Chains A and B, each alone.
Chain A
């Protein structure tokens, strides 16, 4: 193996620093959430305990954390399923280059880059004027979709731009209907990317703050609850909550990555029957 140039080591060091910069603070609050009962918001550690985690499970004086968690989870799953279904349908639609597709595409891009607070404000105002109470499952749900659907759509563009159309043609030549082609050829091929779309949908919703601020109504989602805590909680209990929600996010990512990996294995095993005399 040829030796690496000096620039490799310089850039590798830079990359290392960047990763440290990305993870350092989060790891710090992870450590600090294990402060002893007398510990404060900064180092030094005042003993090591799980006191603040227990505190989180016991007292509900600062708000309804577990209710907020359940709502965020439900909303995240709802947004995830909707994002996958709607993105796939839209992705298929854009392959047909239907009239007005350009307009819809730019609307989606606008939706992606428009400041979140405008969505929050506008949706809040509409519900207000129509006399409908805002609720996380209606106005909050719709507001979050304006952020997850464009992401999903962009991924579908990337997927279909690399999609080999000859598979579909082969299916049609063998007499498959449009639905059969979709169900047995297209969807299995794009399945791993759909997991990516699902991951985007769930986590963007689960962590979304700005678009839910004025649209979630009287029942907070978890990010809103955390934000509320930042203004009135001055104990490491907030770090404990931060550590738990981060751990949960990591768990979700791991689950998604694992399923991509399993799908890849499955495909390697079942993908081709060439030369097997089937």
Chain B
């Protein structure tokens, strides 16, 4: 009994913050999603207008599809890159000092501003940017490529740039805990490098992959700023739908979209959590 009491006392600040700034806001959003709105104000009500409009709209379907597409492509790319980088660090770098040093090199950009990192793509991808000038100098293309900036390409590039780290860290973390003798055993039993990778390392790395997946997928699905910025406001995802409604002060409509987004994200996470016990992996 005292154990529970002391436990709760120690956990109280955390619980309080989560109650006030997580549970209450969600409750608020859910209730506002049933409210009504005029052009100038919002008023309490209990109506399904927002949802009817949202779910009946062709735009919603297209935007949700675009959101899933961004998430899927970004996931595949970050997984591929993240796994390779983590594999290199965990199995090919022999001294621990170097491992930590190179790992830090990967993590440092994560600590700086996302928006600055997005801006920094402009001189690269712009019409007169480095990529276009270089390609033209090499004679690969005659005219600047227009799709480099403000396109799906630049949006996904920015996502990969911002979020690959969220794959590298958990995968590296799980890989570091793989008993190296298992890999030697695989080699001794005659497995080739690929067989070891596919039948030993990948299965043992799965929890890290799952945690990385949860991060990347939820970050991409909830994003609104990268899509707006890197597409030059020409593409949309669910996050942008919400932020546009907020900009127009259409809070009930924004709240309804937010509820649908929240449910989608929670379903995705619930599915992913079936494959991994997070608490055991820490």
Task: Write the residues of chain A forming the contact surface with B, with a CB cutoff of 8 angstroms.
Answer: 4, 7-8, 11-12, 14-15, 18-19, 21-26, 28-29, 32, 41-43, 85-87, 89-90, 92-94, 96-101, 104-105, 107-111, 113-119, 121-123, 125-126, 129, 142-143, 145-146, 149, 153-154, 157-158, 161, 199, 203, 207, 209-210, 214, 223, 226-227, 230, 238-239, 242, 245-246, 249-250, 252-253, 257
> B120 to A242, Cβ gap below 8 A?
yes
> A93 to B8, Cβ gap below 8 A?
yes
> Whole-angstrom distance between the alpha carbons of A238 and B229 in the complex?
15
Considering the complex of A and B, which 3 residue pairs feature the smallest CB-CB distances, nearest first? A115-B222, A122-B25, A98-B7
Interface residue from A101, A126, A146, A209 paired with B28 (Cβ < 8 Å)? A126
Interface residue from A22, A149, A246 paired with B17 (Cβ < 8 Å)? A149
Number of A-B contacts (CB under 8 A): 247
A-side contacts of B279, CB under 8 Å = 105, 157
B-side contacts of A145, CB under 8 Å = 17, 21
Interface residues of B in 68-101 (CB under 8 A from A): 81, 84-85, 87-89, 92
Interface residue from A24, A98, A100, A245 paired with B113 (Cβ < 8 Å)? A245
B-side contacts of A227, CB under 8 Å = 115, 225
Q: Is B242 an interface residue (CB 8 A)?
A: yes
Q: Is B243 an interface residue (CB 8 A)?
A: yes
> A19 to B105, Cβ gap below 8 A?
yes
Interface residues of B in 116-150 (CB under 8 A from A): 116-117, 119-124, 126, 128-130, 133
> B121 to A25, Cβ gap below 8 A?
yes
B46-54, B57-65, B198-206, B253-261 - interface stretch = B253-261
What residue of chain B has the Cβ atom nearest to residue A26's Cβ?
B120
> A14 to B116, Cβ gap below 8 A?
no
> Whole-angstrom distance between the alpha carbons of A259 and B278 in the complex?
30
> A93 to B10, Cβ gap below 8 A?
yes
Given known A42-B129, A43-B133, A253-B108, contact A90–B115 (CB-CB < 8 A): no
21 contacts between A and B (CB under 8 A): A15-B85, A21-B161, A25-B120, A26-B112, A42-B128, A85-B13, A89-B11, A93-B6, A100-B8, A115-B239, A115-B265, A122-B26, A125-B251, A142-B17, A146-B17, A157-B282, A223-B114, A230-B115, A230-B119, A246-B113, A250-B112
> Whole-angstrom distance between the alpha carbons of A223 and B119 in the complex?
12
> A122 to B24, Cβ gap below 8 A?
yes
> A42 to B126, Cβ gap below 8 A?
yes
What residue of chain B has the Cβ atom nearest to residue A19's Cβ?
B105
A-side contacts of B22, CB under 8 Å = 107, 110-111, 114, 119, 146
> B7 to A113, Cβ gap below 8 A?
no
Q: Is B214 an interface residue (CB 8 A)?
A: yes
> Whole-angstrom distance between the alpha carbons of A245 and B262 in the complex?
33
What residue of chain B has the Cβ atom nearest to residue A5's Cβ?
B193
For residue A11, give the distance in angstroms from its CB to the closest CB of chain B. 4
Which secondary structure characterizes the binding site on chain B? helix
Given known A92-B10, A129-B28, contact A29–B161 (CB-CB < 8 A): no
For residue A40, give the distance in angstroms from its CB to the closest CB of chain B. 9
Q: Is B175 an interface residue (CB 8 A)?
A: no
Q: Is B15 an interface residue (CB 8 A)?
A: yes
A-side contacts of B17, CB under 8 Å = 86, 142, 145-146, 149
Given known A90-B13, A145-B21, contact A242–B116 (CB-CB < 8 A): yes
Q: Is B209 an interface residue (CB 8 A)?
A: no
> Whole-angstrom distance between the alpha carbons of A241 and B224 in the complex?
23
Given known A12-B88, A101-B11, A125-B29, contact A223–B113 (CB-CB < 8 A): yes
> Whole-angstrom distance between the alpha carbons of A57 and B33 in the complex?
45
> Whole-angstrom distance between the alpha carbons of A227 and B112 in the complex?
14
> B106 to A117, Cβ gap below 8 A?
no
For residue A138, give the distance in angstroms from its CB to the closest CB of chain B. 11
For residue B22, give the distance in angstroms from its CB to the closest CB of chain A. 5
B-side contacts of A142, CB under 8 Å = 17, 20-21
Given known A42-B128, A114-B265, A246-B116, contact A109–B278 (CB-CB < 8 A): yes
> A118 to B26, Cβ gap below 8 A?
yes
A-side contacts of B282, CB under 8 Å = 154, 157-158, 161
Q: Is B155 an interface residue (CB 8 A)?
A: no
For residue A143, give the distance in angstroms from its CB to the closest CB of chain B. 6
